[in-house]
Amino acid sequence: MDISVSVIGAGSWGTTVAALAARNTPTLLWSRRAELADQINSDHENGDYLAGFRLPAALRATADLEEAVRSADLLVMGVPSHGFRSALESVKPYLRPWVPVVSLSKGLEVGTRLRMSQLVEEVLPGHPVGVLTGPNLAKEILAGHAAASVIAMDDDNVSRALQRLFQGDLFRVYTNEDVIGSELGGVLKNVIAIAAGMADGLGAGDNTRAAVITRGLAEMSRLGVAMGGQVQTFAGLAGMGDLVATCISPQSRNRHVGERLGQGQTIDEIIAEMNMVAEGVKTSKVVMELADEYGIEMPIASEVRAVCHEGRPATEAYAGLLRRGSRREG
């Protein structure tokens, strides 16, 4: 019997995940805009976010939220963190009991500091919840390049069933029971990617980029473990893998933001030019609140927050990092 997958949110990654699932099982993609849903159905293309990439003919789209949710055997939430709670509230009346919910979002809720899986547990209690995360750049996957991802759930039986829905010839899906660590890896790497982009924008070299990635991973791991994640998760696809891809790829939104900051643009100017969300901007503030709460030193994330929210120039932020005293690595 086929499992019906519904993906809420027709951004670049939501559309890509829906395309992956559509090759294995009936899949419905919900778009807020009826025109985009019609384009996906008729032209098999998402011109808003993925122009030039052909989507599977089997993938269907709708702008009717009730239609998308009521038939779902698996609900995939592909909306950004700032709209995640309201999206969950909207799907709640139509979602059948016990249907698993998987989050694609890599952010934290501002104010509550909750992870997206925690929001699912709060708004949709009783539904198995997980995250799909890893070094996954949408356009590369749609172009057919090899990639790997992690489905993290605390129920191994459910995660193995879902693993088969997303797996493809060149898209390998691993399972992991560490939901906290896997989710935080995706959240925290966006902040470090802004720092890596700032280094590129300032004209720094590969040595600098390597130092930012390596020390950034140390910061991610310290906070992630303090919050209940497993240290080995941060050495895997959800941690190091996602961090490297996001810090080095020209397709990375967060790296793009950092690069523009390094070139002297203001954060407001950069955001105004973008049609997609760079989660690391808002997340940097929330991450530093958590770092203070848990007593974790995060100098890179601290400088990113200062540039994104306190008007500090990127040149000063890097000078601040370089002035910090050296100590034992760890």
Catalytic residue ranges: 189
For residue 7, give the 3-state DSSP assignment. strand
Asked whether 41 and 15 are in contact (CB, 8 A), the reply is no
Phi, psi of 71 (to 5 degrees): -95, 0
* Rounded alpha-carbon distances, angstroms, from residue 91 to 2, 16, 75, 128, 226: 22, 21, 10, 15, 33
∠ Cα 276 176 160 (to 5°) = 95
Pairwise CA distance, residues 219 & 136, whole Å: 22
> CA nearest 79: which of 105, 115, 53, 50?
105
Please report, to the nearest 10 degrees, the dihedral formed by the alpha carbons of residues 307, 311, 314, 317 taken in order.
Answer: -70
∠ Cα 50 53 54 (to 5°) = 125
